[in-house]
Amino acid sequence: MNHLFIIQFIIEKLLQPELLTTLSSCLEAFNNFLQVATGFLNSLEALLESVKGLIMTITVSIVFYRIHCVKKSSKVNEKNDDG
């Protein structure tokens, strides 16, 4: 019987309007925090995609430059072989 009294007391305290209002405010603040965190993570993801694109652009540029240098070197070697 004592346990039932304790449970009833806890439920009555939890159902107080002030506590419910405070709990509601806390949940709303946490929801706002989650929205901000989600926006931050989306921005971070976009930034990482931009960095990925930049790295790909630099890599492709280096590869094409090396191909250009090899072709140029090959042409110079052909001229030296002919001359």
Write out pLDDT tens, residues 14-38. Answer: 788 888 888 899 999 999 999 999 9
CB 3 within 8 A of CB 9: no
DSSP-derived secondary structure letter, 1: -
Q: In this predicted structure, what is the pLDDT of residue 15? A: 80
Q: What percent of the chain has pLDDT over 90?
A: 52
Write out pLDDT tens, residues 54-63. Answer: 999 999 999 9
SS3 content of the chain, % helix, strand, coil (to 5): 95, 0, 5
Taking 80 as the threshold, does the pLDDT of residue 9 lie above it?
yes
The pTM (predicted TM-score) of the whole model is: 0.59
Looking at per-residue confidence, does 6 or 32 come out higher?
Answer: 32
